[in-house]
Amino acid sequence: MDLEVETQTRGDASVLVLRGEIDVYTAPRLRQTIVDLVDGGATRIVVDMEKVDFLDSTGLGVLVEGLKRIKNREGSLAIVATQDKILKIFDITGLNKAFAIHGSVDDALKEPVSGA
């Protein structure tokens, strides 16, 4: 019932590897990590959700906020997700249209920054 946030550097990108559950209790941790990265100058973030067991609207809100922040700096925030339970909440809310969602981190890194 916790969330681990690991930040990896891949070329010019920051890859956030998430493990655990993202809800109203744990989402602030993810939010702070994204805020710190963007404030620190990151313009390319990939959020790897392959090991996320649970995501709700609070987590979505954090991701949308992160997307807005980084877009304001002409950067990109991409999602890596293939689990139905994670993709479903993007689909229900229509936010699958707002994010670039990829099947792997490698695929996400192939996209140009402006493509997100």
Partner 1 sequence: MIPGGDSAQDVPELELEFPPKPEFVGTARHAVSALIRLRDLPDDLVQDVKLAVSEACTTAIADGPGEGLPIQLFASADADRVVLEVIDPGTGVERAVEGRPTDIDTDELPFDRVLSLPIIRGLVDEVAITPLEGQGMSVRMVLSVTPEEDGRAHAQP
Interface map 12-51 toward partner 1 (x if CB under 8 A)? ---------x-xxx--------------------------
| 73 part of the interface to partner 1, by CB under 8 A | no
| 57 part of the interface to partner 1, by CB under 8 A | yes
| 92 part of the interface to partner 1, by CB under 8 A | yes
Residues 6+ apart with CB under 8 A from 74: 43, 113, 114
Among 5, 29, 50, 64, binds partner 1 (CB under 8 A): 64
| 116 part of the interface to partner 1, by CB under 8 A | no
- Ranges of beta strands (E only) in the chain are 3-10, 13-22, 44-55, 76-80, 100-102
Among 65, 96, 109, 111, binds partner 1 (CB under 8 A): 65
| 4 part of the interface to partner 1, by CB under 8 A | no
20, 53 in Cβ contact below 8 A? yes
Q: How far apart are alpha carbons 26 and 20 in whole angstroms? A: 9
Q: How far apart are alpha carbons 77 and 91 in whole angstroms? A: 18
**Three-state DSSP state, 26:** coil
Which residues are at the interface with partner 1 (CB under 8 A)? 1, 21, 23-25, 54, 56-58, 60-61, 64-65, 68, 84-85, 88-89, 92-94
